[in-house]
């Protein structure tokens, strides 16, 4: 977005949504049937854009490195996986809703409270707004009746939006005291409104696997792609001759029954993730092999991984790598970082960084990079009963050189760390010693760094960043709004437009088709011979095509042999034109698209 287009975020998003539909980037799912909540379809250009992003990720993570392997796992899995991962529990809380404010609380998180139960048969305001249902609210102990009424009016006004008008003008109807309660868990802790029945809010999409549809056949569409990587970790390790540290990456669909899908494709119920699980040695193993673990300090060199890196350096390394990736697709200058503090973190997580991006509706998360220790693999080891330890030859050899005092020092260091933990219970000493026994023999469950990115969010970020709109006056001084998508050439859905200057001259058309056929095997091109040349440029600008090629009479040799077989190459953002020999086109364009 350029500065001149910054304005009302809702209007800005509406323009983007409208352009996406009009030009075939993104459509509402099932539109002819009235749509389908929280689900979106990608049209021809959207499909190309997503493919380019997927390819860029796959290339940066797999092709350009030697230490990461790909996986393409099924969306359906054994439901036991979701018990082990914690999704069945954390995604299925019982929730209760406040009947006054409609705020939701976890049913098991309501503190008992006492007070006087007050009922109103309804409410109305001078503006014509009225509420026709009974509202039950707890007047807390010591709360003055007038300040209580004022509070109820304010809450009603807040919930009704603009329609109810000013809180002071709301008239509460049919006030009645019903009873005095102690230790009730049926009222919202803040508003005091009566809570509705407890209902399960299951964020996972349930389905049935197999021809019968009984409870025994229930499974889920995966809520994230990561768990398949953990579940297949041992297979990949055993079949690929890799050593820790190494990673497994995967791109695929995931599904969540979002309570509030919103912001266009940003929060959808069906979405695509690009996840990497990068497995590293536990810090203790690094210390045994290298003698010490390198500490992170500001400005440390993250260029090339080193043998003495512990989880912290690896975590920083991946934040750096992912930042470089976003820079390479043109999002470098709109990124922000949020380092989760200790209170935000799950008990098993050591650190987590959100990479945020500026959208018209706010700065929101594109990718999370978490250091998750050995939590996931250990959970699957426990639930499946299968060992997910790996054997590390180098570690075994290094450990064999330690004497008993050195080994005991490592154990003591870990025991002290366990005692110092602020979240979760410390691991019992016996378990710590058992873990070190395995470690000294060269066995451990790898730890993991997880960069997890949302593809649909990335596509939306790219579109929102590229969106530019400005006013331009034509010859008659009539103002027109011009829209340009300033995509990085690497991600642009169409790379090049090819145009004969005029379409009623068969020689021009034939030559243009020739150029089109020359480029087409190497890049997504678009041939257009209709309307004026200016309009054709403008159409391509609007879908973000970075280059345009025009075939004119000079190309045919009308002005002599010097210009024969040269074309006009036009660059989208500057509008600059240059004469290029047809034979030089590929050599000139291809490096700009990689």
Partner RNA sequence: GCGGGUGUAGCUCAGUGGUAGAGCGCAACCUUGCCAAGGUUGAUGUCGCGCGUUCAAAUCGCGUCACCCGCUCCA
Query: By C-beta, is 68 or 352 nearer to RNA?
Result: 352
- Candidates 35-43, 297-305, 328-336, 419-427 — which segment interacts with RNA by CB under 7 A? 35-43
Q: Which of 6, 7, 10, 305 binds RNA (CB under 7 A)?
A: 10
Q: By the 8 A CB rule, do 234 and 391 touch?
A: no
φ, ψ for residue 253, nearest 5 deg: -75, 150
Query: By C-beta, is 121 or 340 nearer to RNA?
Result: 340
Q: Kind of pairing, strands 113-120 and 135-140?
A: antiparallel
Q: How far is the CB of 89 from RNA (least distance, A)?
A: 13
Q: Token pair of 60, please?
A: 């940066």
DSSP 279-331: EE--HHHHHHHHSS-BPP-TT---SS--TTB-HHHHHHHHHHHHHHHHHHTT-
Query: By C-beta, is 144 or 472 nearer to RNA?
Result: 472
Q: Token pair of 456, please?
A: 């649909």
Q: Which of 161, 385, 561, 591 binds RNA (CB under 7 A)?
A: 161
Q: How far is the CB of 448 from RNA (least distance, A)?
A: 14
Q: Token pair of 84, please?
A: 């082990």
Rounded CA separation 312/322 (Å): 15
Query: By C-beta, is 289 or 502 nearer to RNA?
Result: 502
> CA dist 262 to 30, 176, 268, 376, Å?
17, 39, 7, 30
Q: By the 8 A CB rule, do 208 and 217 touch?
A: yes
Interface with RNA includes 258 (CB under 7 A)? yes
Q: Residue holding tokens 């090819």?
A: 498
Q: Residue holding tokens 């200016």?
A: 534
* Total site size for RNA, rule CB under 7 A: 83
User: What mask, x for binding RNA by CB under 7 A, covers residues 271 to 310?
Assistant: x-x-------------------------------------
Q: Which of 92, 502, 518, 523 binds RNA (CB under 7 A)?
A: 502
Rounded CA separation 436/579 (Å): 70
- Candidates 12-20, 211-219, 228-236, 423-431 — which segment interacts with RNA by CB under 7 A? 12-20
Interface with RNA includes 531 (CB under 7 A)? yes
DSSP annotation of 267 reads: B
Of the CA atoms within 13 Å of residue 467, those in its CB half-sphere come to 23
User: What mask, x for binding RNA by CB under 7 A, covers residues 194 to 223?
Assistant: ---------x--------------------
Q: By the 8 A CB rule, do 29 and 297 touch?
A: no
Interface with RNA includes 169 (CB under 7 A)? no
Q: By the 8 A CB rule, do 53 and 329 touch?
A: yes
Q: Token pair of 421, please?
A: 């933990």
Q: Which of 170, 174, 172 is nearest to 127 (CA)?
A: 170
Query: By C-beta, is 241 or 472 nearer to RNA?
Result: 472
- Candidates 50-58, 63-71, 257-265, 580-588 — which segment interacts with RNA by CB under 7 A? 257-265
Helices (H) and strands (E) in the chain, counts: 17, 29
Q: How far is the CB of 425 from RNA (least distance, A)?
A: 22
Interface with RNA includes 193 (CB under 7 A)? no
Q: Kind of pairing, strands 577-581 and 566-571?
A: antiparallel
Query: By C-beta, is 369 or 439 nearer to RNA?
Result: 369
φ, ψ for residue 383, nearest 5 deg: -75, -35
389: helix, coil or strand?
coil
Query: By C-beta, is 113 or 483 nearer to RNA?
Result: 483
Q: Token pair of 343, please?
A: 């209170």
Rounded CA separation 312/296 (Å): 6
Rounded CA separation 364/326 (Å): 15
Q: How far is the CB of 531 from RNA (least distance, A)?
A: 6
Q: Which of 2, 4, 37, 147 binds RNA (CB under 7 A)?
A: 37
- Candidates 168-176, 287-295, 518-526, 528-536 — which segment interacts with RNA by CB under 7 A? 528-536
Q: By the 8 A CB rule, do 294 and 310 touch?
A: yes
For residue 253, the surrounding DSSP H or E stretch is strand 246-255
Q: Which of 2, 4, 7, 18 binds RNA (CB under 7 A)?
A: 18
Interface with RNA includes 366 (CB under 7 A)? yes
Centre a 10 Å sphere on the Cβ of residue 514 and count the other Cβ atoms it contains. Answer: 13
Interface with RNA includes 2 (CB under 7 A)? no
Site for RNA in 554-593 (CB under 7 A): 554, 558, 568, 570, 575-577
- Candidates 286-294, 389-397, 518-526, 549-557 — which segment interacts with RNA by CB under 7 A? 549-557
Query: By C-beta, is 439 or 582 nearer to RNA?
Result: 582
Q: How far is the CB of 156 from RNA (least distance, A)?
A: 9
Site for RNA in 411-470 (CB under 7 A): 452-454, 456-457
Interface with RNA includes 368 (CB under 7 A)? yes
Interface with RNA includes 376 (CB under 7 A)? no
Interface with RNA includes 14 (CB under 7 A)? yes
569: helix, coil or strand?
strand
User: What mask, x for binding RNA by CB under 7 A, covers residues 64 to 103?
Assistant: ---------------------------------x---xxx
Query: By C-beta, is 180 or 592 nearer to RNA?
Result: 592
Interface with RNA includes 392 (CB under 7 A)? no
Q: How far is the CB of 432 from RNA (least distance, A)?
A: 29
Interface with RNA includes 379 (CB under 7 A)? no
Query: By C-beta, is 495 or 570 nearer to RNA?
Result: 570
């Amino acid at each position: 977005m350029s500065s001149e287009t910054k304005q009302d975020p809702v209007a800005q998003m509406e323009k983007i949504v409208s352009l996406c539909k009009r030009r075939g980037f993104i459509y509402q799912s099932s539109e002819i049937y009235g749509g389908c909540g929280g689900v979106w379809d990608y049209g021809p250009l959207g499909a190309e854009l997503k493919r380019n992003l997927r390819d860029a990720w796959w290339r940066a993570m797999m092709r350009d490195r030697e230490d990461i392997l790909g996986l393409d796992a099924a969306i359906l899995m054994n439901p036991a996986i979701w018990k082990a991962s914690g999704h069945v529990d954390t995604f299925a809380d019982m929730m209760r809703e406040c009947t006054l404010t409609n705020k939701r609380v976890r049913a098991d998180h309501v503190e008992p409270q006492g007070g006087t139960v007050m009922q109103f048969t309804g409410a109305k305001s001078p503006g014509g707004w009225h509420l026709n249902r009974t509202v039950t609210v707890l007047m807390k102990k010591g709360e003055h009746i007038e300040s209580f009424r004022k509070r109820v009016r304010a809450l009603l006004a807040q919930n009704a939006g603009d329609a109810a008008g000013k809180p002071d003008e709301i008239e509460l109807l049919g006030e009645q005291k019903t009873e005095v309660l102690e230790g009730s868990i049926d009222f919202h802790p803040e508003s005091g409104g009566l809570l509705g029945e407890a209902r399960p809010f299951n964020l996972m999409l349930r389905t049935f696997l197999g021809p019968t549809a009984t409870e025994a056949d229930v499974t889920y569409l995966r809520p994230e792609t990561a768990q398949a990587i953990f579940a297949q970790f041992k297979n990949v390790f055993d079949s690929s001759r890799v050593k820790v540290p190494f990673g497994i990456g995967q791109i695929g669909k995931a599904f969540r029954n979002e309570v509030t899908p919103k912001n266009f494709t940003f929060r959808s119920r069906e979405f695509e993730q690009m996840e990497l699980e990068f497995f590293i040695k536990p810090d203790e193993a690094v210390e045994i092999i290298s003698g010490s673990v390198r500490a992170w300090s500001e400005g440390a060199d993250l260029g090339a991984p080193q043998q003495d890196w512990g989880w912290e350096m690896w975590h920083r390394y991946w934040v750096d790598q992912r930042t470089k990736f976003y820079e390479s697709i043109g999002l470098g200058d709109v990124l922000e970082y949020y380092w989760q503090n200790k209170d935000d973190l799950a008990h098993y997580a050591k650190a987590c960084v959100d990479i945020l991006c500026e959208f018209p509706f706010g700065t929101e998360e594109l990718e999370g990079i978490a250091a998750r220790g050995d939590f996931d693999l250990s959970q699957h080891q426990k639930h499946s009963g299968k060992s997910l330890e790996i054997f590390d030859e180098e570690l075994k050899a290094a450990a064999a050189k330690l004497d008993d005092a050195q080994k005991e020092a490592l154990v003591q260091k870990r025991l002290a760390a366990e005692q110092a933990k602020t979240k979760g219970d410390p691991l019992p000493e016996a378990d710590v010693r058992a873990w070190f026994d395995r470690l000294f023999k060269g066995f451990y469950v790898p730890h993991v760094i997880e960069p997890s990115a949302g593809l649909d969010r990335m596509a939306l970020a790219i579109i929102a960043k590229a969106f530019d709109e400005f006013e331009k006056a034509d010859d008659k001084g009539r103002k027109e709004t011009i829209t340009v998508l300033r995509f990085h050439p690497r991600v642009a859905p169409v790379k090049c437009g090819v145009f004969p200057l005029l379409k009623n001259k068969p020689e021009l058309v034939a030559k243009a088709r020739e150029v089109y056929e020359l480029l087409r095997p190497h890049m997504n091109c678009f041939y257009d011979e209709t309307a004026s040349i200016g309009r054709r440029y403008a159409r391509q600008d609007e879908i973000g095509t970075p280059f345009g090629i025009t075939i004119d009479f000079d190309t045919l040799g009308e002005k002599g042999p010097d210009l024969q077989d040269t074309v006009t190459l036009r660059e989208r953002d500057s509008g600059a034109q240059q004469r290029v020999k047809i034979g030089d086109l590929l050599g000139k364009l291809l490096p700009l698209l990689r």
